[in-house]
Structure 1
Amino acid sequence: MTKHYLEASEYLYNYKHAPEESSLCALEQRTLFGEESDNLIKSTIKIEPSRSPFIKGRLSILFSDKSVQAIAEQVDQIELKNQSFKVRFLKINDLSSKQKIEYAEQRMIESEIGWKINGEAQMKNPDILFGIVPFEGRWYFGTYQESEPVWLHHVKKPKEYSTAISTRLARTVINIAVPDPSGLRVIDPCCGIGTVLVEALSMGIQIVGSDLNPLVVQGARENISYFSYDGIVEVKDIAVEEGHYDVAIIDMPYNLFCQATPEEQYAIIKHAKRIADRVVILTIEDMDQMILMAGFTIVDRGVANKGKKGLFSRQVIVCE
């Protein structure tokens, strides 16, 4: 492989989400990249595409030009030696309906690029997957890594809890709470059966969990062990938590499912302010006043809707 092949410094992420997920997806995008888009984001920030339920894949940009022909003239710099390859036209792009490229032309573009690459073309299970995509009036070519829906593997677990958030939402919330996990200490002090813990541990994030209910703590431990992760979960009230963390994630649907008073809700938020620098709160209620009274600043927010009609929704509030 040529030196150029190894030097991608920009990336294109293609996105797909349901209409009811638009607010949540946009919040995750703003947190990870500082911008939002319906379909493609170009960035110098490199993240694993499987981190997000909304990212379909990541194109590591090798060449960019005004036409497919201009790209084809450059790809002969790539030397794959004994590796096989495939070129894929990325269907998620920013072309308008009038500009859409039909199937036959997509295949022609793939062939035009593929003929110029020095290597063995392989349609099934290639060693290297390349992608080409139009974006903002230019064409981009590079290696393409598809997202793997890791969170789907965590849906079925030994212990379930009717009020637990989905694995998809949990993974998104972790990205919003911890956009760059390097060296950060994270806590979920109201962890329930550990949905957030499992997703965070699967992403290599240093997280601990706790809960007042011994039964759900035991359930969280079983779920973590079931997926072969190693995590600490304790029976503990947030009021007696003495450690300090970079980030806390708190799911607070208390008035609907528990007999917690507003005073108890406020105490949880106040203690979260004491133990963490950044807190992401999930709530079905308006808690802005409590959050501000606790000394937080609300820096961003989104809505996680359940179902196409959004009959049940949680606010996702980022506090610092």
Structure 2
Amino acid sequence: MEMRSFFSFDSPSNYIISNIKIDPSRSPFIQDRLEVLYEENSIDNIKKLVKDLEVNEATFKVVCLNNMEIDETKKIPQSERRLLEREIGLCIEGEPDLNHPEIIFGVILIDGKWYFGKHMKSVSIWLKHLHKPHSYSTALSTRVARTVANIAVPQPQNIRAIDPCCGIGTVVIEALSMGINIEGRDINYNVCQGSRKNITYFGLTGNIILGPISEVKEHYDVAIIDLPYNLFTHTSTEDQFNILKHARRIADKVVVVTIETIDDMIEDAGFVIADRCIAKKQSFLRQILLCE
């Protein structure tokens, strides 16, 4: 579902080719990104082309990304990958640095075609957010929270988002760490305080407001709502429906997280479910619904 939000389609393969640039560190599911400079049918042609690369004063290194099976393409053994990296690196005019290069180039073989370009490795920022000073067991995992934020806001430019039931701030933290313009809101004073402390703990800056969604006057491009549920709250079905009705009022698009099937309630609130998936956390099954 995150892939569809980013690229407008998904793939049964473990790679995707797209003109859309996504920082791989945004997603818990993306490992690498290769910004393709050359595409050839043979590695010898790649070696010829890289001779024209201009790295100026920057140091560089080359990595071969065939360290696992990629669709139908078999893994290239490590010794062969190292040899490829060395041969291509020797063709590039510049200063190699295997430890702290300023530029990393990548080369990969997929279905008989070689691709060469600038490589970017994913950094699992969301793992650092596991260690919040304030948390509770039923909150979304940081991995799911980051995915939900990406589904809601795949392209952050000029987008305003709100999490009006933000709880301890799990979604808000992930969104803020990706440069998404989001504010949080909750009806519980202590929870708001905990959320603010969590945001500050990770060196982020964000606004958490005390109050119900019914008091929201501004309009947003998207809202993210992890619906309160009866197991740990006193929220009734009527309360949940009122949250959805106000979400329809304040936002053009809403991503709803729910442990119950609420399709009828979503429709009665004026939404159409555009996409959906299931997220698991221990014994909890959560539905993630993209509503427009």
Q: TM-score, normalised by structure 2?
A: 0.95
Is 1:314 the equivalent of 2:286?
yes
Say which SS state the counterpart of residue 21 (structure 2) adopts.
coil
The alpha carbon displacement at 1:194 in A equals: 0.7
Q: Specify the alignment match of 2:138 in structure 1.
A: 163
Q: Specify the alignment match of 1:146 in structure 2.
A: 121
**Counterpart contact for 2:68–2:76, Cα < 8 Å:** no
Letter in 2 for 1:85: F
Say which SS state the counterpart of residue 215 (structure 1) adopts.
helix
Task: List alignment gaps of at least 5 residues for structure 2.
Answer: none
**Counterpart contact for 1:40–1:93, Cα < 8 Å:** no
Letter in 2 for 1:224: I
**Counterpart contact for 2:72–2:111, Cα < 8 Å:** no
Decide which of 60, 66, 72 is 1:85's aligned counterpart. Answer: 60
The alpha carbon displacement at 1:29 in A equals: 0.3
Decide which of 260, 273, 276 is 1:298's aligned counterpart. Answer: 273
Q: Specify the alignment match of 1:246 in structure 2.
A: 221
**Counterpart contact for 1:86–1:130, Cα < 8 Å:** yes
**Counterpart contact for 1:253–1:285, Cα < 8 Å:** no
The alpha carbon displacement at 1:81 in A equals: 3.4
Say which SS state the counterpart of residue 255 (structure 1) adopts.
coil
Q: Specify the alignment match of 1:31 in structure 2.
A: 5
The alpha carbon displacement at 1:82 in A equals: 2.8
The alpha carbon displacement at 1:34 in A equals: 1.5
Query: CA-to-partner distance for each residue in 1:23-49, whole Å, 9 max, x for gaps?
Result: xxxx00011011223421111111211
**Counterpart contact for 1:95–1:134, Cα < 8 Å:** no
Cα distance between partner residues in 2 of 1:315 and 1:42: 28
Task: List alignment gaps of at least 5 residues for structure 1.
Answer: 1-26
Q: Specify the alignment match of 1:278 in structure 2.
A: 253
**Counterpart contact for 1:253–1:282, Cα < 8 Å:** no
Cα distance between partner residues in 2 of 1:197 and 1:214: 17
Decide which of 91, 94, 101 is 2:70's aligned counterpart. Answer: 94
Q: TM-score, normalised by structure 1?
A: 0.87
Aligned residues: 290
Cα distance between partner residues in 2 of 1:241 and 1:84: 51
Give 1:205-224 correspondences, 5 Å limit. 205-224=180-199
The alpha carbon displacement at 1:101 in A equals: 2.0
The alpha carbon displacement at 1:160 in A equals: 1.3
Q: Specify the alignment match of 2:83 in structure 1.
A: 108
Query: CA-to-partner distance for each residue in 1:266-302, whole Å, 9 max, x for gaps?
Result: 1111111111100000111101110011110100011
Query: CA-to-partner distance for each residue in 1:235-278, whole Å, 9 max, x for gaps?
Result: 11112211111100000141222222211111111111111100
**Counterpart contact for 1:72–1:116, Cα < 8 Å:** yes
Q: Specify the alignment match of 2:36 in structure 1.
A: 61
User: Residues 119 and 319 of structure 1: is their aligned pair in 2 closer, same or farther, counting only changes over 3 Å?
Assistant: same
The worse-fitting range, judged by mean Cα deviation, of 227-236 and 277-286 is 227-236
Say which SS state the counterpart of residue 257 (structure 1) adopts.
coil
Cα distance between partner residues in 1 of 2:234 and 2:279: 23
Is 1:188 the equivalent of 2:172?
no
Letter in 2 for 1:213: N
Superposition RMSD on alpha carbons, in Å? Answer: 1.5
The alpha carbon displacement at 1:73 in A equals: 1.3
The alpha carbon displacement at 1:149 in A equals: 1.3
Q: Specify the alignment match of 1:23 in structure 2.
A: none
Say which SS state the counterpart of residue 230 (structure 2) adopts.
helix
Cα distance between partner residues in 2 of 1:112 and 1:175: 39
Cα distance between partner residues in 2 of 1:198 and 1:100: 37
**Counterpart contact for 1:253–1:284, Cα < 8 Å:** no
The alpha carbon displacement at 1:174 in A equals: 0.6
Letter in 1 for 2:148: V
Letter in 1 for 2:4: R
